[in-house]
Amino acid sequence: MTDRLYIFDTTLRDGEQSPGCSMNLEEKLRVAQALAQLGVDVIEAGFPMASPGDFEAVRQIAERVQGPTIAGLARAHPKDIESAARALEPAAQARIHTFIATSPIHMQAKLRMTPDEVLERAVEAVKLARSLAPEVEFSAEDAGRTDMDFLCRVVEATIAAGARVINIPDTVGYTTPQEFGARIRELIERVPNSDQAIFSVHCHNDLGLAVANSLAAVENGARQVECTINGLGERAGNASLEEIVMILRTRRDRYDIETGIDTTKIVPTSKLVSQITGMPVQPNKAIVGANAFAHEAGIHQDGVLKHHETYEIMTPESVGWTTNRMVLGKHSGRAALKARYAELGVELDKEELDAAFERFKELADKKKEVFDEDLLALLDEGAAAGEERIRLVSLHVASGTKDTPVAAVELEVNGEMLKATSEGDGPVDAAFKAINSLVEPNGKLLLYAVNAITAGTDAQGEVTVRLADGDRIVNGQGKDTDIVVASAKALIAALNKLPDMHARGEHPQYSGV
Ligand code: KIV
Ligand code: ZN
């Protein structure tokens, strides 16, 4: 009989922890709804104790997102566990995910606890969590570098205390596939009560091995994988959901294991997460990169036209790349827009539809063909509107082969109208200088990237701007058929995030217990 692998998505927790990827409540809800439509088994919605914003996000997701189990992260500490339990109260299926580090370096340098103290704390945490939630997952943080005998003791004791999922994280992405697979097998074989738990893995990608390590674990008995859309996550990220799912599906001959994922929703979900976080997907990224199915060499094109399996091991349609993406134009009505959004997995209430329709009409006036990507981008703009401290009122730029580029910008900053003009090394540089002369703080520009959302010279340009303000990093995205306007919008979106970042909560892995 075919086995089932549970997909635990941590885009909203580990993914959101990566620099510049923080999302607001409305954005988290949209991602959570998309994950539910994608068919993930568990959504780790956040770390409720980290901040009131994280708590509220977990609570709202627990209340409004149907289908998957909703998990909340908690350190092995009563306050964290109680906070997670409160946030998860409205969920139809809730899971408290509690963790403590078990490697020598983490226990000594970070926790300053002995192994016995850690073991005791882990057991107490699981018991408390079990008294407050129907499902408990326990993670031995940095299990990849944990002494095997000690890890076996911790796993046995936490299963006995009531954990039904035991997660083995390779927190620092240190292990190799053979090593990690053997670790999972040894745990399952040596721990006497291992049959009472599902073994899970959570691999980081510091050496580019997160997916390989996760698969090695699956080959050796793990039946839950923790992963993220586009491989987002701390540092080099987590194992990428789309790669794991498509490997299992494409190589069914090797892995007789199924997931509950609707693979045709992979690309739309990837695009949504990229647009919301402002974290672009590299073009040659497996499955979801823009070039993943692009055949450039003539010999390859010829082969694919004769038989697609010559150079394609899966079809672009099977992961949600659609060939016919032209959906709407300026004569399309409200009902068609609502229906297309529903097909993209986005349900809009009347007010949201009215706002989206207004922006859609404006765009359709500038652009003959409105694609799915454009529609998703419109939602993003809508989400950003209304909560802005800085708003772009107007922008005028002049540039050419002989003239010095100059930009005149008008902003509304905290309700006050401000104007500035500036020259620059190009129209974008001039616009940035003019905007920066009007606001504080400016942050340091770390990244400026431009991408065309769809094909054609009338395509909307999507600009990503990354700024650093001290140790805070924020991303902003802007879209427009005029890339200088898109650039100004992206800079303003990033600037708008700077003050909010002061309220960021605790980081689960560096804040000790
Ligand atoms: O990487 C890690 O160890 C984690 C745990 C909290 C599961 O993210
Ligand atoms: Zn992690």
Which ligand does the CA of 200 lie closest to?
A: 1
Q: Output the CA–CA distances (angstroms, integers) from residue 263 to 15, 40, 241, 435, in the order listed.
A: 20, 11, 10, 42
Closest residue by Cα to residue 434 from 394, 401, 473: 394
pLDDT of residue 18: 87
Q: Where are the domains of the chain?
A: 3-277, 293-322, 334-385, 390-503
Which is the closest atom of ligand 1 to the Cα of 204? 1
Q: Which helix (H) or strand (E) holds 372?
A: helix 372-384
45 C-alpha vs ligand 2 centroid, how far in Å? 14
Closest residue by Cα to residue 359 from 455, 460, 428, 272: 460
445 C-alpha vs ligand 2 centroid, how far in Å? 27
Which ligand does the CA of 18 lie closest to?
A: 2
Residue 51 is encoded by which pair of tokens?
A: 């901040």
Which is the closest atom of ligand 1 to the Cα of 238? 1
Are the C-beta atoms of residues 467 and 443 closer than 8 Å to each other? Answer: yes
Ramachandran class of 464: left when φ > 0, alpha when ψ lies in -120 to 50, beta otherwise:
beta
Rounded (10°) CA dihedral 6, 10, 15, 16 = 160
Which is the closest atom of ligand 1 to the Cα of 142? 3
Are the C-beta atoms of residues 512 and 99 closer than 8 Å to each other? Answer: no
471 C-alpha vs ligand 1 centroid, how far in Å? 22
Residue nearest to atom 8 of ligand 1 (CA): 14
In this structure, CATH architecture of domain 390-503: 2-Layer Sandwich (3.30)
Closest residue by Cα to residue 100 from 78, 130, 132: 78
How do strand 94-101 and strand 135-141 relate by DSSP bridges? parallel
Which ligand does the CA of 170 lie closest to?
A: 1
| Pocket of ligand 1, beta carbon within 6 A | 14, 99, 139, 141, 167, 169, 171, 202, 204, 508
Are the C-beta atoms of residues 373 and 453 closer than 8 Å to each other? Answer: yes
91 C-alpha vs ligand 1 centroid, how far in Å? 23
Closest residue by Cα to residue 399 from 428, 437, 433: 428
142 C-alpha vs ligand 1 centroid, how far in Å? 8
CA distance 491 to 435: 8
- Whether 390-503 and 3-277 are alike in CATH topology: the answer is no
133 C-alpha vs ligand 2 centroid, how far in Å? 22
Q: Which residues, in sequence order, are CB contacts of 414 under 8 Å at separation 6+?
A: 389
Give Rg (Cα) of the chain: 24
4 C-alpha vs ligand 2 centroid, how far in Å? 23
Q: What is the DSSP letter of 191?
A: S
**Ligand 1 test: best mutation among 95, 110, 111, 141, most atoms within 8 Å of CB?**
141
> Across the 513 residues of the chain, what is the mean pLDDT of every consecutive 10-residue run?
93 92 90 97 98 96 98 98 98 98 98 98 98 98 98 98 98 98 98 98 98 98 98 97 98 96 96 88 92 75 77 91 68 86 80 90 84 78 69 94 93 93 95 94 88 76 86 81 93 82 56 57
pLDDT of residue 441: 85
pLDDT of residue 502: 40
Q: Where are the beta strands (DSSP E) in 338-435?
A: 370-371, 390-398, 406-413, 416-423
**Ligand 1 test: best mutation among 139, 154, 175, most atoms within 8 Å of CB?**
139
Residue nearest to atom 1 of ligand 1 (CA): 171
Altogether, the residues listed in the chain come to a count of 513
The DSSP line for 111-156 is I---HHHHHHHHHHHHHHHHHH-SEEEEEEETGGGS-HHHHHHHHH
CA distance 108 to 111: 6
pLDDT of residue 278: 82
pLDDT of residue 36: 98
Are the C-beta atoms of residues 451 and 362 closer than 8 Å to each other? Answer: no
pLDDT of residue 496: 87
Omega of the bond leading into 441 within 30 degrees of 0 (cis) = yes
SS (H, E, C) 262-299: CHHHHHHHHHHHHHHHCCCCCCCCCCCCCCCCCCCCHH
CA distance 465 to 204: 26
Pick the CATH number of 3-277 from 3.40.50.720, 3.20.20.70, 3.40.640.10, 3.30.1360.120: 3.20.20.70
Closest residue by Cα to residue 33 from 272, 378, 354: 272
Closest residue by Cα to residue 384 from 492, 505, 465, 480: 492
**Which residues share a beta bridge with 419?**
410
**Which residues share a beta bridge with 351?**
none
How do strand 94-101 and strand 69-75 relate by DSSP bridges? parallel
Which ligand does the CA of 239 lie closest to?
A: 2
**Ligand 1 test: best mutation among 203, 509, 510, 513, most atoms within 8 Å of CB?**
509
Residue nearest to atom 2 of ligand 1 (CA): 171
The tally of CA atoms less than 13 A away on the side-chain side of residue 427 is 15
Which is the closest atom of ligand 1 to the Cα of 509? 6
395 C-alpha vs ligand 1 centroid, how far in Å? 45
Q: Output the CA–CA distances (angstroms, integers) from residue 363 to 330, 378, 467, 481, in the order listed.
A: 8, 9, 28, 8
502 C-alpha vs ligand 2 centroid, how far in Å? 23
pTM of full prediction above 0.75: yes
